[in-house]
Amino acid sequence: MKVFDTRFELTGFLAAAAVLLLLIPGLNAFVPEESAMHVSGFQLSLWGKYVTYAVLAMSLNLLWGYTGLLCLCQSMFFALGGYAFGMYLMLMIGERGAYKSPLPDFMVFLGYQELPVHWVPFYNFWFATGAVLWVPGLAAFIFGFLAFRSRIKGVYFSILTQALTYAVCLLFFRNDFTFGGNNGFTDFKEILGADINAVSTQRWLFVGSVLLMGATYMFISWMLKTKFGKVQQAIRDSENRVRFSGYSTTHYKLLIFVLSAMIAGAAGAFYVPQVGIINPGEMTAAKSLDVVVWVALGGRGTKFGPIIGAVAVNLLKSYATRLYPDSWLIILGLIFILVVLFMPNGLVGLPEQIRGLVRKFRRAPEAGLKEIPVSSEV
């Protein structure tokens, strides 16, 4: 599987990145709108959303595929990064909102007279960009420190992360929590002085999403080759043996947990301006389960698999929800069952799995012939 990973995954990733980085923006910018090959602004933002989902899947794979920790709060970190950047975008609306007030519309509706103190720093773009990383990173550090220090792992860790997602989601649904309640943030106007709804701005956001995906891929590839990465994978295979060898598995798991949360937060920051909205619905436990399916389908423990899984499932979702809107959850469940029963290595491992079956069937007739006794009589 090692040769397969290094050759196929790297080649596949470079090909996919080239298509996303050059072809899609090029078809949007240089192909006339009346052409069948033209990529509309809506399709561009849709593909941008898929790319951010791919980065989210990579962040979970770093934790689940290479460390053995099934986290069910990855969508929460994704949403926290989105909310952090969404605060900056909301403040940039200014008096162009429905109420013509410098305060965000939802605050005017709820009767706020002035901007809450914790909102003020988000007027600064660079502070908001940093918050995209440190807000989910801090949340992961606090929870991870308490969980890993108590040596919680396995299914108990998954249940706790799911409970954390549910609790934070309920908190963000509250109107008095100053984050828009059920409606969240929307109706963005500009980013760094540029019209956020302009096609040129959406192209740059798309390119930034692809570059983030590439940087995440390269970072994970580099990390897995280091001593840290080898210890990380050893923890996945046998944590007790690593601990008995003198390594502090708590510190390793905590650092990886924080890194995966920060990557998810960065993906959420690119998601918000391209989709145009962020609300508590993006951090529900069901969303985190979706990410688990993406990683499992693409190939857990592979670098390119989560990208394939995220894009494939969301493409299928866009198609299926138009034709069979009431059956999508059933389809998603069947996909997961299919992967668990018949595709343990996901789509990335499918070619090798097929080659193994072919070799097995080729050896079967030969083994049968050897068992036939040969008479010595002429």
> Whose CA is closest to 64, among 157, 150, 164?
157
In whole angstroms, what is the distance from residue 152 CA to residue 71 CA?
Answer: 12
Per-residue model confidence (pLDDT) at position 4:
45
Helices (H), 100-248: 105-109, 125-149, 155-173, 199-225, 227-237, 239-244
pLDDT bucket at 366, cuts 50 / 70 / 90: low
Tens digits of residue pLDDT in 242-289: 999 989 999 999 999 999 999 999 999 999 999 999 999 999 988 999
- Asked if 184 and 280 touch (Cβ cutoff 8 Å), the reply is yes
Structure tokens at 271: 């998601």
Encode burial over 180-215: b for 16+ CB neighbours within 10 A, e otherwise.
bbeebbbebebbeeeebeebebbbebbbbbbebbbe
pLDDT bucket at 83, cuts 50 / 70 / 90: very high
In whole angstroms, what is the distance from residue 12 CA to residue 299 CA?
Answer: 14
Tens digits of residue pLDDT in 92-141: 998 898 888 899 999 999 889 999 999 999 999 999 999 999 999 999 99
Structure tokens at 275: 């989709």
% of the chain beyond a pLDDT of 90: 64
Per-residue model confidence (pLDDT) at position 163:
94
Other residues' Cβ atoms within 10 Å of the Cβ of residue 243: 14
In whole angstroms, what is the distance from residue 332 CA to residue 293 CA?
Answer: 8
DSSP state of 245: T
pTM for the structure as a whole: 0.91
Structure tokens at 210: 């692809």
pLDDT of 374 higher than 60: no
Per-residue model confidence (pLDDT) at position 3:
39
Structure tokens at 117: 């103190």
In whole angstroms, what is the distance from residue 228 CA to residue 78 CA?
Answer: 25
pLDDT of 378 higher than 50: no
* CA count, 13 A, side-chain hemisphere, 74: 34
**H-helix or E-strand spanning residue 195:** strand 194-195
Residue 319 or 269, more confident: 269
Structure tokens at 294: 């993406």
In whole angstroms, what is the distance from residue 303 CA to residue 249 CA?
Answer: 23
Tens digits of residue pLDDT in 199-221: 999 999 999 999 999 999 999 99
pLDDT of 365 higher than 90: no
